[in-house]
């Protein structure tokens, strides 16, 4: 599911990466797509590989929380305060 999530959501991931690291990620940069697995190893994702085409699968992954109106970043709020995800 992780590889499929990265492959399907890479435009959204790239946009957030540019917001987080505006100096390091320049317009038109070539990105390597991947993730760090539970053992700390970097796993490269082949975004050109055909994955399962399951109806509605995009609803099973994405960003959690509510987009902050000021920054556009996704945040978790409790009682009107920004909080860390605990689970």
| pLDDT computed for residue 63 by the predictor | 65
Which is nearest to 42 in space by CA: 3, 78, 12? Answer: 3
DSSP 8-class letter at 10? H
Task: Judge if pTM exceeds 0.75.
Answer: no
Rounded distance between C-alpha atoms, residue 14 and residue 45, angstroms: 14
> Which residues of the chain fall below pLDDT 70?
49-54, 57-59, 62-68, 72-76, 85-87
């Amino acid at each position: 599911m992780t590889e499929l999530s990265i492959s399907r959501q890479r435009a959204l991931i790239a946009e957030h990466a540019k917001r987080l690291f505006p100096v390091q990620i320049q317009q038109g940069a070539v990105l390597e797509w991947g993730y760090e697995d539970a053992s700390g190893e970097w796993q490269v994702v082949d975004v050109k590989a055909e994955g399962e085409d399951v109806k509605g699968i995009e609803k099973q992954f994405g960003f959690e929380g509510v987009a902050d109106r000021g920054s556009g970043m996704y945040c978790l709020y409790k009682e009107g305060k920004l909080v860390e995800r605990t689970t």
